[in-house]
Amino acid sequence: MIDKNSPLPIYYQIQEWIRKKMDDGEWEPGDMLPSERIFAEQFNISRMTVRQAITELVNEGLLRREKGKGTFVAEKKLEQPLQGLTSFTEDMKARGFQPGNKLYEFRVTPPSRDVADALNMKKTDSVYELERVRLADNKPMALEMTSIHAGVVTNLSKDIAQSSLYNYIEQTLGLTIGHASQTLESALAGEKEAELLQIEAGDPILWISRKTHLQDGTPFEYVRSAYRGDRYKFSIHLPRST
C-alpha cells in the first residue's frame, strides 16, 4: 500500500490510506486509530512520518487527539446555512438531533452600554441575560450569551430559557420575528469557552453576533455565540448580484 519509490511523500500516502478507510466507512466517527507504533511497524516507516501524517489530519479536523487516550476519527461537521432566520431548536430538530440547553446564567439587569445601543434601550430599562450551552444529542455545540429586551419579550423564566426562546416569543407571546443581522469572527477558545464547550483552550471557535428584530422593526435580542470549530461549517447561497 505504501510505495517507497513513489514521488508522493510517504506521509501523504499514509493520509490517503486513512482518508480511504474513512470514505469507505471502515473507520467511523468515534473509532480509535491504531497507535503510532503499530502504524510505523505495519508500514515499516518511522514514527515521525506517521505523526506528521496524523497531525495534518488533526489540523484539518478529520481526526481528533485526546490527551492520554489516543487519536480518533472526528465527528462529521454540521453544515449550517447562513441565510434564513432560524432558532437553534429548529436547526437541530430539522437534522434529527435532540436539542438541549444547559442554562448557566439567568438574570434581569440594566443593559450594558453595548446592549443598550444595540437594542435602543434606556439605562432604566431591563434586559434578561442568559448564558446557555446549546446541546445536540447531549453534546455541546455552542455557547450563547443572550440579552433580551425585557420590555418587548415579557415574563421570561428559567424554564423558558431552558427550552426554545423563539418558540416562546412566537407561540406564547404571539410576536412575529422579522429579521436579523449577523457578524462572524474566528477566534481561539479561552478558558471559559473551553470548559463550557468541552474543548481545549486554544481550540478554534467561531463567534457569531446576532441582533434580531421583530417584524415591526423593534430590536429585541442581542446574542454572542461561540460555535465549536470542530462541529460546524457554515454555508451560504450567493445569487449573482449585478
Task: Provide the binding-site residues for ligand 16G, judged by CB under 6 A.
Answer: 87-89, 144, 146, 164-167, 208, 210, 212, 221, 223, 225
Answer for the pair 49, 15: CB distance below 8 angstroms, yes or no: no
Q: Alpha-carbon distance 124 to 6, whole Å?
A: 72
Shortest approach of ligand 16G to residue 231 CB, angstroms?
14
Instruction: Give the chain's largest Cα–Cα span.
Output: 75
Q: Which is nearer to ligand 16G, 52 or 89 (CB)?
A: 89
Identity of residue 75: E
Pick the closer one to ligand 16G by CB: 7 or 217. Answer: 217
Instruction: Report how far apart, in Å, the C-alpha atoms of 46 and of each of 21, 43, 181 are.
Output: 21, 9, 51
> Whose Cβ is closer to ligand 16G: residue 133's or residue 208's?
208
- CA dist., res. 207 & res. 70, Å (int): 29
Instruction: Indicate the residue among 64 and 134 with the shorter CB distance to ligand 16G.
Output: 134
The least distance separating ligand 16G from the CB of residue 140, rounded to whole angstroms, comes to 13
Q: How far is the CB of 87 from ligand 16G (least distance, A)?
A: 3
Residue number, 60 or 159, with CB nearest to ligand 16G? 159
Residue 174, all three cell numbers: 404571539
Report the alpha-carbon distance of residue 177 to residue 189 in Å, rounded.
31
Q: Which residues of 30-41 are buried (b: 16+ CB within 10 A; e: fewer)?
A: eeebeebeebbe
Kindly state the smallest distance separating residue 146's Cβ from ligand 16G, in Å.
Answer: 5
Residues composing the chain: 242
Closest CA to 53 of 10, 91, 107, 90: 10
Which residue lies nearer to ligand 16G by CB, 139 or 210? 210
CB of 145 to ligand 16G, least distance (A): 10
Shortest reach from residue 91's CB to ligand 16G, in Å: 7
